[in-house]
Amino acid sequence: MSMALLRAIRWSRLATALFTLAMFVTAATLALPTYAEPPTKTYRILMVLWRGEEDAVQGFRDYFATQRIPVEFILRNAAGDLAKLPGLAQEAKAIRPDLVVTWGTSVTLALLGPHNAADPSPYLPAAGIPGVFMIVSQPVESGIVPSLASSGRNITGTAYLVPEETQLRAARSYFNFDKIGIVYNDREDNARLSVEALRALAPTLGYTLIERPLPLDRKGNPRPDQIEPLVAEIAASGAQLLYQPPDSFLNVNRDRLTQAALARGLPTLAAGENPVRNSYALMGIINRYYTVGQLTAYKARQILVDGLDPKEIPIEAPKRFSFMVNLPIALQLGRYPPMNLLKFAEIIENNADARRP
Amino acid sequence: MPTRTTDLIPINAESSVPTPDASTADYARSISRRIHALTLFILLAALIGFSLFAMQAFETRMAPEIGKKSATIGRILAAQIERAVGYGIPFAKLVGMGPFLASVFPDNPEVAYLLVADATGAILYAAGPGAAEGQAALAGSSAAMPHPEDAIPIRSVGTFYDTALIIKRGDNRIGALHIGVRQSFVRGQLAEIIYDVLTVLVVALLVAFEMVAVLVALRVARPMARAERLLERLRCGDFRYDGNGSKGDEVGRFTAALAAVTRRVNERYWRLVQEAEEIKAGQIDPGIVARIEAAMSRLNARFSFPAPGASLISLREPSLASVRGPLFLFVLAEELSRSFMPLYIHQLYAANPMVIPGLSEDVIIGLPIALFMLCIAVTTPIAGQWADRWGTRRLFIAALLPGLVGAIGTALAGSVLDLLWFRSLSAIGYAMATIACQGYIAQTAPAGGRARAMAVFIGSIMLAAICGAAIGGVLADRIGYRATFLIGAGMIPLAAALLLALLDEPERLTKSAPNADGQSGWRAFRALLGNPRFVALMLGSAIPAKMILTGFLFFLAPLYLRHLGYETATGGRVMMSYFVLMILLGPLAARWADRSNRHRSFVILGGVLSGTGVFSVLYWNDLWAVLAGVTALGLGQALLTAPTLALIPEISARECQRFGQATVLGALRVIERIGSVAGPLLAAWVLGQFGYAGSAASSGVIVIAGSVLLGLVLLALGDGRRTATARGLP
């Protein structure tokens, strides 16, 4: 009786051991191939760009290179010409890539279309080509996706703007301010949305906003010669900070704007990287294009390699922003960065463009 | 042959010198006293010498170590300052230096100040609690700029150790960064080590005394008692015994020689018997045969000899001392964890949270402590029955198994749930071992010396508690909780081995008290619960006293001290002070209470006193508040413990008469353990609701309120002794 019991116990133990071993072997055989065999297929990615290759594209390509995922890049450049876009869309359909990557709001709208288009057929998603967009300032407001959580169709993408609230709170770790001036082009959606956001934040963050929209010429275009007088008005009203919104017109005229501010001892906080890196803005709290490109590439990989449905991939911005400080401007203004900010800020020391008189 | 018969008589005559019973004990005591003094002297001298040497070595090494750490902190700061200056920011116009320097202090509590001076020695930036003081001290000295050749430029400036680092721009020295550490901080670190060394010293002394006592008892007192008993047997003409003398010592050799003599006497006796038979067989005269037979029967009446061919019976000498060593070790194994058990449970809980609906985190941490107490309470009466059935020695050996499994399991536990299982096993082992020892002492103690023997038992446990709390804390700080548990686990088999080597099973007592069976126990319980004075004593004093002991001292104090940032060793020493007070003042208070015959006053006063100290926690968030609480608790409990026992026969005279005093005291033990179990749970619950101060104060309120209530009830009911005598006695 007891011997039988003993034997039963031994058998059950042996069975458990064998079962465990079997589980291990199964798990090992399942787990090994994914490590052992890299994906052998070469993916074809069409990148349609707005102003040629820059950091975001570099970040995108570097991601695939470091991940050792074989890809073939086909690059097309609109070179800032809206008229070229319908032709590029036609060409994309003919190429039939595994994935199309679009750079900027205009290219994205032309190739991927608005989410609520009455006729989606001219756009690539309808032709079964998945898309990933990047460097789109306002994906929802510009109508590309209904929400950041999901596009609802076979595209996804990345956001790149740091929210205004984050920018201003971070800027306050540099110096405090309670009056902000803004010059902007009322004709641009991005600029208008940014002004609205600043207006809404004013009571919570405790500042007053001085808004100066640029007057238009007879053709309806903003007048660049009005930049200096408006900045002078803002400086005279006692603002401690000038905010440069993500505004294409002002980006082109960044030197005029930031130099005007600098001449009046007014520091500029820029929403974009360019005015800080290549002009006279004091600081920018931004997502670096390179990082945005890498995040976009990660989303592309999720679609191509991992086989995820694009509508399941949320549209996100990079988790960590960069605090850029234009050092020559800081020294010129006598606004020295606090010691704790120096620990993590990206200091731009020798800015060749900014030295330009 | 008559000559041979007469040969034997002088031996008997010589040995008939009466020996006083007390002489061995006196001799042992005087030896033991002298050995104590000598051990104390040698150990003290060695340890003091060692401590002084260690401290000196420590102090000369500490300053450079402080310098090194300060320099590490300083280099990071200086590098960042140099970077900022390198960007072109003027050295005197660095922005945000206050918060920048202040970020160092939370992680480096030893740093008292950070000062940045320019090349002229003028202080540009200052931060830290000792900034103003340090600035003044630095201004007074000429140490503002360090010499570049100093490897680690640490200097004594005022009451600080100042480490200075040069700040450069390019190749130019533009200033210096000073990092100040209070010398009192270094001394505090030293004091911490001195306390640890002293703790080890005291514990080593106590253990040495315990070991000396055991050794003297076993190596001197027991062999001599055996020799004495052997001589006594021989004096009475009994030649059947062997004294078990070892060859290792003089007394043993003496006993062995006696045994050899005994054997020779026996041989001669048998030769005599043989010869007598031969002579008898050769005689035809019945008169001579009758005379030989008469002589032989006279010889047999006067002396006892073993049967032919039988070996000598080994003399057994159960000794009280032989149980002390094993008991001490077994209890020490358990007490090692006393000072950090709640901390260990908390750590396990944090690693692997156990969710029991309705129970807060604090209560779950209190749970294993309460369960331990409960298991002891439940196992104790059962273990008493086992002791009767199996004998004390076997019970102690049996206790080894749950004790060892419990201790190892506790060390390796992964969650609070594991701990609950293993702590229960430990509790069962602990109860079995203590009951076994108690039973052994009860069986071996001479009739009159039962109380003193019990004092030895309590003393051994208290001593182990002192050593355990103190050394356990030090060990836990140095090697960690789990390793300390494993050391405790290692002591348990050691205790068992010692016991096997030393303990003679005493002759089983015929039968324990007739009232010990369960039926009468229950009846005694019911009768006692009908006695309002007894109930008042239980609810007002006995239960609250245990509640504050387990709730405040065992559960709350370690957690609170850790919360205040003290090391486990400090907690152990605070806890030790309770046991020291108990062991020093307990007997004094007992004698005093007996002499004044005011047991009630002592019980009530002790209760009130033991609750007062904890209120200091409400006013100071400090070590001293806890120490005050523990000291008052120790004083109060020392005052009330013995008088409570003395009060029992006074207030429950009828029950004591009906069921026996032992049964009534047993009921007291069972009832007061309700407090032991409830204490940690209640303290934990209040801790979750009102925090540490609230929990400490609540235990004090319960004890004081209970004592006041007891006083009022006793006042209202009058003197129980007289009424009982008047009514109950025929």
- pLDDT tens-digit readout, B376-414: 888 888 887 787 778 778 888 888 889 999 989 988 888
For B524, the token pair is 């005694």
| Closest by Cα among A152, A76, A170 to A310 | A152
Which of B89, B94, B167 would you mutate first to test chain A, the one with the most A CBs within 10 A? Answer: B89
Does A37 contact chain B (CB < 8 Å)?
no
Q: Which residue has the higher pLDDT, B151 or B621?
A: B621
Alpha-carbon distance B84 to nearest alpha carbon in chain A (angstroms): 7
For residue A35, tell me if it sits in a domain. Answer: no
| Statement: residue A356 has pLDDT above 70 | no
pLDDT bucket at A263, cuts 50 / 70 / 90: very high
Rounded to two decimals, the ipTM of the complex is 0.72
Instruction: Looking at the structure, tell me whether residues A150 and A281 fall in a common domain.
Output: no
Contact call for A338 and B88, based on CB within 8 A: no
**At A66, which amino acid appears?**
T
Give the Cα separation of B140 and B144 in Å (integer).
9
Of B84, B90, B99, the CB nearest to A342: B84
pLDDT bucket at B91, cuts 50 / 70 / 90: very high
pLDDT at B156: 80
Instruction: Looking at the structure, tell me whether residues A112 and A227 fall in a common domain.
Output: no
For residue A65, tell me if it sits in a domain. Answer: yes
pLDDT at A351: 54
| Statement: residue A112 has pLDDT above 90 | yes
Of A331, A336, A343, the CB nearest to B94: A336
pLDDT bucket at B312, cuts 50 / 70 / 90: confident
pLDDT bucket at A19, cuts 50 / 70 / 90: low
pLDDT at A2: 47
Contact call for B89 and A343, based on CB within 8 A: no
Alpha-carbon distance A31 to nearest alpha carbon in chain B (angstroms): 29
| Statement: residue A272 has pLDDT above 90 | no
Give the Cα separation of B485 and B475 in Å (integer).
10
Characterize the bridge pairing of strands A131-136 and A99-103: parallel
- Provide the chain B residues 84-103 that lie in CB contact (below 8 A) with chain A: 84, 87-90, 93-97, 99-100, 103
Q: Residue A218, class by beta-carbon neighbours within 10 Å (0-12 exposed, 13-18 middle, 19+ buried)?
A: exposed
Average pLDDT over residues B317-330: 77
Average pLDDT over residues A155-170: 91
Number of domains within chain A: 2
Chain A positions in Cβ-Cβ contact with residue B83 (cut-off 8 Å): 342
Q: What percent helix, strand, coil does chain A show, rounded to 5? A: 45, 20, 35
| Statement: residue A36 has pLDDT above 60 | no
Characterize the bridge pairing of strands B123-127 and B111-118: antiparallel
Give the Cα separation of B257 and A355 in Å (integer).
112
For B387, the token pair is 């002791």
Give the Cα separation of B498 and B332 in Å (integer).
14
Beta-carbon contacts of residue A205 (< 8 Å; ≥ 6 apart)? A165, A168, A169
Chain B positions in Cβ-Cβ contact with residue A347 (cut-off 8 Å): 87
Quick one: what percent of chain B has pLDDT higher than 90? Answer: 7
Residues linked to residue A157 through DSSP beta bridges, in sequence order:
A133
Instruction: Place domain B513-730 in its CATH homologous superfamily.
Output: MFS general substrate transporter like domains (1.20.1250.20)
Element at B697 (helix H, strand E): helix B661-717
pLDDT at A35: 46
Of B81, B83, B89, the CB nearest to A336: B89
Q: Which residue has the higher pLDDT, B684 or B593?
A: B684
| Closest by Cα among A113, A60, A54 to A79 | A54
Q: Residue A220, class by beta-carbon neighbours within 10 Å (0-12 exposed, 13-18 middle, 19+ buried)?
A: exposed
Out of 3.30.450.20, 3.40.190.10, 3.40.50.720, 3.40.228.10, which CATH number does the structure's domain B1-236 have? 3.30.450.20
pLDDT bucket at B656, cuts 50 / 70 / 90: confident
Give the Cα separation of B100 and B628 in Å (integer).
41
Of B81, B83, B96, the CB nearest to A338: B96
Which of B80, B95, B103 would you mutate first to test chain A, the one with the most A CBs within 10 A? Answer: B95
Q: Which residue has the higher pLDDT, B182 or B30?
A: B182
pLDDT bucket at B43, cuts 50 / 70 / 90: confident
- Residue for token pair 């009994």: B238
CA dihedral sign of residues B496, B497, B502, B506: positive
Element at B262 (helix H, strand E): helix B250-282
Between the ranges B3-17, B620-634, B647-661, where is the mean pLDDT highest?
Answer: B620-634
Contact call for A342 and B88, based on CB within 8 A: no
Instruction: Looking at the structure, tell me whether residues A212 and A350 fall in a common domain.
Output: yes
A342: nearest CA partner in chain B? B84
Contact call for B84 and A347, based on CB within 8 A: no
For the ranges B104-108, B519-523, B660-664, the lowest mean pLDDT is seen at B519-523
8 A C-beta contact, residue B460 and residue B440 = no
pLDDT digit string (tens) for B477-492? 888 888 999 998 998 8
Instruction: Looking at the structure, tell me whether residues A183 and A245 fall in a common domain.
Output: yes
Quick one: what percent of chain B has pLDDT higher than 70? Answer: 86
pLDDT at B447: 60
Beta-carbon contacts of residue A86 (< 8 Å; ≥ 6 apart)? A110
Q: What is the DSSP string of B140-182?
A: HTT-SS--TT-SS-EEEETTEEEEEEEEEETTEEEEEEEEEEE
| Statement: residue A298 has pLDDT above 70 | yes
Question: For chain B, give me the number of helices (H) and strands (E)?
Answer: 26, 7
**At A171, which amino acid appears?**
A
pLDDT at B20: 40
Beta-carbon contacts of residue B729 (< 8 Å; ≥ 6 apart)? none
Does A333 contact chain B (CB < 8 Å)?
no
Mean pLDDT score of chain B? 80
- Buried/exposed code over B446-477 (b: 16+ C-beta within 10 A; e: otherwise): eeeeeeebeebbebbbbbbbbbbbbbbbbbbb
Instruction: Looking at the structure, tell me whether residues A222 and A297 fall in a common domain.
Output: no
Give the Cα separation of B74 and B100 in Å (integer).
12
Instruction: Looking at the structure, tell me whether residues A79 and A222 fall in a common domain.
Output: no
Give the Cα separation of B329 and B334 in Å (integer).
9
Give the domain CATH number at A213: 3.40.50.2300
Contact call for A340 and B100, based on CB within 8 A: yes
- For chain B, give every domain's residue range: 1-236, 245-316, 318-511, 513-730
Give the Cα separation of B77 and B134 in Å (integer).
18
Instruction: Looking at the structure, tell me whether residues A199 and A327 fall in a common domain.
Output: yes
Average pLDDT over residues B599-615: 86
| Statement: residue A11 has pLDDT above 70 | no
Distance from chain centroid for Cα A318: 7
| Closest by Cα among B725, B714, B692 to B342 | B692
Chain A positions in Cβ-Cβ contact with residue B100 (cut-off 8 Å): 338-340
Q: How many CA atoms lie within 13 A of B563 on its CB side?
A: 16
Instruction: Looking at the structure, tell me whether residues A122 and A189 fall in a common domain.
Output: no
Instruction: Looking at the structure, tell me whether residues A171 and A236 fall in a common domain.
Output: yes
Instruction: Looking at the structure, tell me whether residues A106 and A210 fall in a common domain.
Output: no
Q: How many CA atoms lie within 13 A of B150 on its CB side?
A: 17
Of B88, B90, B95, the CB nearest to A339: B95
| Secondary structure class of B556 (helix, strand, coil) | helix
The secondary structure of residue B340, as a DSSP letter, is: T
- In order of B33, B46, B435, B447, B452, the CA distances from B509 in angstroms are 33, 47, 16, 12, 19
| Statement: residue B147 has pLDDT above 70 | no
B318-511 and B513-730: same fold? Answer: yes
Q: What is the DSSP string of B56-110?
A: HHHHHHHHHHHHHHHHHHHHHHHHHHHHHHHTT--GGG-BSHHHHHHTTGGG-TT
User: How far is it between the farthest Cα atoms of chain B?
Assistant: 140
Of A327, A336, A349, the CB nearest to B95: A336
pLDDT at B145: 62
pLDDT at A310: 93
* Cα angle value A312/A315/A318 (rounded, 5°): 130
Contact call for B80 and A343, based on CB within 8 A: yes
Which of A175, A331, A340, A351 would you mutate first to test chain B, the one with the most B CBs within 10 A? Answer: A340
Whole-angstrom Cα Rg for chain B = 35
Contact call for A339 and B93, based on CB within 8 A: no
Instruction: Place domain B318-511 in its CATH homologous superfamily.
Output: MFS general substrate transporter like domains (1.20.1250.20)
For residue A26, tell me if it sits in a domain. Answer: no
For the ranges A289-293, B235-239, B623-627, the lowest mean pLDDT is seen at B235-239
Q: How many CA atoms lie within 13 A of A179 on its CB side?
A: 10
- How many pairs of residues across A and B have Cβ atoms under 8 Å apart? 39
pLDDT bucket at B1, cuts 50 / 70 / 90: very low
Instruction: Looking at the structure, tell me whether residues A59 and A187 fall in a common domain.
Output: no
Instruction: Looking at the structure, tell me whether residues A211 and A179 fall in a common domain.
Output: yes
Contact call for B84 and A340, based on CB within 8 A: no
Q: Which residue has the higher pLDDT, B675 or B145?
A: B675
Characterize the bridge pairing of strands B111-118 and A322-326: unpaired
Of B84, B88, B90, the CB nearest to A339: B84
Average pLDDT over residues B510-537: 69
For B96, the token pair is 């945000």
Expressed as residue numbers, the domain containing A192 is 164-286+321-355
